[in-house]
Amino acid sequence: MREQVEEALDKVRGMLMADGGNVELIDVTSDGIVKVKLTGACGCCPMSQMTLKMGIERLLKQEVPQIKEVVSV
């Protein structure tokens, strides 16, 4: 499942990098929780939670149906 998550994150990275940010995959738990770290401009952006939930989490759930939640660490 980790490989599927990495592939899905690669689809989002281009948009994040265009704004000076990125996302780093920290862990994928057996119960479907994905732990990520927003870096660069995304790490301190006031809209980072919206990016995380409405962008990254939404895409990951579409691409990898086993995903339950995406959290920032």
Per-residue confidence (pLDDT) for residue 30, from 0 to 100: 94
Share of the chain above pLDDT 90, in %: 88
Q: State the chain's maximal CA–CA distance in angstroms.
A: 32
- Least Cα distance to 1 among 24, 31, 23, 22 occurs for 31
At residue 23, the pLDDT reads 96
pTM for this predicted structure:
0.91
Return the pLDDT at 28: 97
State mean pLDDT over 20-34.
96
Q: Are 48 and 42 spatial neighbours (Cβ–Cβ below 8 Å)?
A: yes
Residue 45 — very low, low, confident or very high, per pLDDT cuts 50/70/90? confident
Domains and CATH numbers, the chain: 2-72 (3.30.300.130)
Q: Which residues contact 2 (CB under 8 A, 6 or more apart)?
A: 25, 28
